[in-house]
């Protein structure tokens, strides 16, 4: 059996572990030719109760292969703006990847800032760091301003919204981001502090769940 056919069988399997495995391989190996099959599997998965893990795996891979037919559905998830929701975060990350017009296009992230809540913006910022986008000075400054002015509630058990941006700073001009990163060091979130400290040394952190 060819690898492509094997993945197709995994996507149509009755076992959720098989479907997750197939979806992950598509994103990891950038198998754009399986986009339609992954999309069909995702549309079925959304109707399965308590299947958020499989859904985010599929959403993540749809974003990685920039499957354009998914953009409207992903945008709708963003518009629903569920707070502290993993599906929403991964939908935002995937949407910004699909909507980029170039490898370093950050305009879809700015579009989501116009209405997005915590989960939407968290996913969008983590996408910037995951893909190591290299931005212009004005874009970096605008992102820092928008992120620091975002009305986040700091609650026990919830991550800090600045995490994705702090990680992305590792690849940018230190003179532009050092102030932001130093402010990240002063808060109660130890993981954020660790990420910020590494970024000050120009080292990326692994902050993604997939």
Is 136 within the bounds of a domain?
no
Task: Compute CA distances 85 → 93, 118, 159, whole Å.
Answer: 13, 9, 12
With vertex at residue 87, the alpha carbon angle to CA 86 and CA 89, rounded to the nearest 5 degrees, is: 65
Residue 189 has pLDDT above 90, yes or no: no
Q: In this predicted structure, what is the pLDDT of residue 187?
A: 80
* Cα distance between residue 26 and residue 203, in whole Å: 28
Is 35 within the bounds of a domain?
yes
87 SS3 class? helix
What integer best gives the mean pLDDT of the chain? 94
Name the pTM for this structure: 0.93
Sign of torsion over alpha carbons 71, 57, 151, 141: negative
Is 39 within the bounds of a domain?
yes
Residue 131 has pLDDT above 70, yes or no: yes
pLDDT over 90 percentage in the chain: 86
Give the tens place of pLDDT for each residue, 8-27.
999 999 999 999 999 999 99
pLDDT over 70 percentage in the chain: 95
* 6: containing domain: 1-65
Is 60 within the bounds of a domain?
yes
Structure tokens at 169: 């700073």
Q: In this predicted structure, what is the pLDDT of residue 206?
A: 87
- Structurally, the chain folds into a number of domains equal to 1
């Amino acid at each position: 059996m060819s690898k492509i056919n094997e993945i197709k069988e995994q996507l149509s399997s009755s076992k959720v572990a098989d479907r997750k495995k197939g979806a992950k391989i598509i994103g990891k190996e950038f198998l754009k030719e399986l986009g339609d099959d992954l999309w069909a599997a995702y549309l079925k998965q959304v109707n399965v109760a308590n299947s958020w893990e499989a859904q985010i795996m599929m959403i993540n891979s749809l974003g990685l292969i920039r499957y354009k037919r998914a953009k409207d559905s992903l945008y709708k998830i963003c518009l629903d703006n569920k707070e502290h929701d993993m599906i929403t975060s991964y939908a935002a990350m995937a949407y910004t990847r699909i909507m980029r017009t170039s490898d370093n296009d950050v305009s879809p992230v700015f579009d989501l800032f116009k209405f997005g809540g915590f989960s939407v913006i968290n996913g969008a910022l983590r996408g910037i760091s995951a893909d190591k986008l290299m931005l212009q000075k004005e874009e970096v400054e605008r992102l820092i301003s928008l992120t620091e002015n975002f009305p986040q509630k700091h609650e026990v058990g919830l991550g800090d919204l600045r995490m994705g941006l702090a990680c992305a700073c590792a690849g940018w001009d230190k003179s532009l981001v050092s102030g932001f990163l130093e402010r990240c060091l002063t808060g109660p979130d130890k993981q954020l502090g660790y990420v910020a400290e590494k970024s000050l040394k120009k080292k990326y952190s692994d902050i993604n769940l997939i």
